[in-house]
Amino acid sequence: MKKIGIMGGTFDPVHMGHLFVANEVLNIYGLDEIIFIPAGNPPHKRGTAACSYDRYIMTQLATLSNDRFTVSDIEIKKEEKSYTLKTMLEFKQKYPEAEFYFITGTDAVIDLPSWHNPGELLKICRFIAVLRPGNSLEDAKTKIEEINRIYNGHIELYQAPMLQISSTDIRSRFKNGMSARYLLPESVEQYIVKHRLYLETENEF
């Protein structure tokens, strides 16, 4: 049975934290591939700094050299907000034989109860949560146990070496003219500079 890892996010921009975690889970859980799914532009106020096209291209650039990494445009090409459940149901249809591993940081997984129909989502894919700097191990464990109990889920906590890298910090570095070198792939850094992304105050949120 094919094992497919799913890495969802805004990737605004994609960075070494995303790539490291994806590769780590791929190796530890013996996955065949990882599909990165940049989220579409949220329809209302609180949006992303870079548009979905730029975020998609940057994710492509970042994953180009790894033949086990691919990028899906399933969410960015939609006008309406994509629910993770809907996306995963589409993937299940496309790959009926595959087993899906949804990869998240602990900051994202503890929000799961606020997602659309978490119970159903937990039924159709396994969740691997990676501890993120800033989240305590004990809190994450307690919260994950609680979610598993409520939704009868199988979220697993995996402790990888932690990288204190976030897109928020990277955006602020570009805005303030500070170097973000080595926090993200060189190709992505060059794309940001060339297209003058993350310079505007109003894009910061």
Query: Toward ligand ATP, which CB reaches closer, 60 or 104?
Result: 104
> Which contacts of 179-187 are long-range, i.e. CB under 8 A and separated by 24 or more positions?
182/16, 183/15, 183/16, 184/13, 184/14, 184/15, 184/16, 184/62, 185/14, 185/16, 185/19, 185/61, 185/62, 187/61, 187/62, 187/64
**Dihedral angle of Cα 67, 92, 74, 169, to the nearest 10 degrees:** -70
DSSP state letter for 82: P
Query: Toward ligand ATP, which CB reaches closer, 49 or 151?
Result: 49
Query: Toward ligand ATP, which CB reaches closer, 1 or 46?
Result: 46
Query: Toward ligand ATP, which CB reaches closer, 93 or 176?
Result: 176
Q: Minimum CB separation from ligand ATP for residue 99, in Å?
A: 19
Q: Minimum CB separation from ligand ATP for residue 58, in Å?
A: 11
Q: Minimum CB separation from ligand ATP for residue 186, in Å?
A: 18
Binding site for ligand ATP (CB under 6 A): 9-12, 17-18, 21, 104-105, 107-108, 130, 132, 163, 165-168
